[in-house]
Amino acid sequence: MTFPEYDKKLQKTITAAKSHYNGQMMASIGVTALKMIHDRVTKTGVNAKGQKFALYSTRPMLTNCSTMILSACSKVAGSKEKRKELNWVTIRGHKLFEIPGGYKEFRELHGRQTAFVDFSFTNRMWNDIKLISNNGNHQRGIAIIGAKDTEEKKKLEGNTKRKGDILDLSTKEVDELKKTYNLSMLQVFRSNGL
């Protein structure tokens, strides 16, 4: 290959790489990163550093049947006898009862797993977490994931304060994303004869 032929192919490759990198790649990386994080956290309860999130609280908590599904409430307060055995408290006009086993027991009453923290009681928070960066961000090589809805943002912030950064990527995940990006760019070079 002569230098002018190489130069022509290189210019064509640079144009193709810019076109390929026009934001679509970063958007794809952001979506893939979110899936990696979601799967790791909800299936294993492990943070980006490879450690389990602190377990669900077993400190007694107050609640009432309006915050529970019917079957869960029935297990705890479904009869006069059960209600009589409960510890009751009135706060600001609301009658609440104590669940001695805390949030862990509350989850168990609702049939949710408690072996590890998955941040998915209703899944509203996870369902709201999306790629929130725009094409301008993507053009600059930035992909941002986060909650969109105000309530879910607050929930994500609260969970992050209590348990640590939920949406952080592990070193292994970052390496996998780099590999995907590099392979994609390599394909651009190959398809242009370089």
DSSP E strand boundaries for the chain: 61-63, 88-91, 94-99, 129-131, 145-147
pLDDT in tens, 64-100: 999 999 999 999 999 999 999 999 999 999 999 999 9
- The predicted structure's pLDDT at residue 117: 97
Q: Cα–Cα distances in Å, from 70 out to 66, 146, 172?
A: 9, 32, 43
Using DSSP, state whether 10 is helix, strand or coil: helix
Whether residue 97 contacts residue 64, with contact meaning beta carbons closer than 8 Å, is answered with: yes
User: Considering just the CA atoms, what is the radius of gyration of the chain in Å?
Assistant: 25
pLDDT in tens, 39-54: 999 999 999 999 999 9
- The predicted structure's pLDDT at residue 10: 67
Token pair in block for residue 11: 């210019």
Indicate the pTM of the whole model: 0.81
DSSP class of 52: B
pLDDT band at 6 (very low <50, low <70, confident <90, very high): low
Distance between CA 180 and CA 111 in Å, rounded?
38
Distance between CA 5 and CA 8 in Å, rounded?
5
The neighbour count for residue 188, using CB atoms within 10 Å, is 19
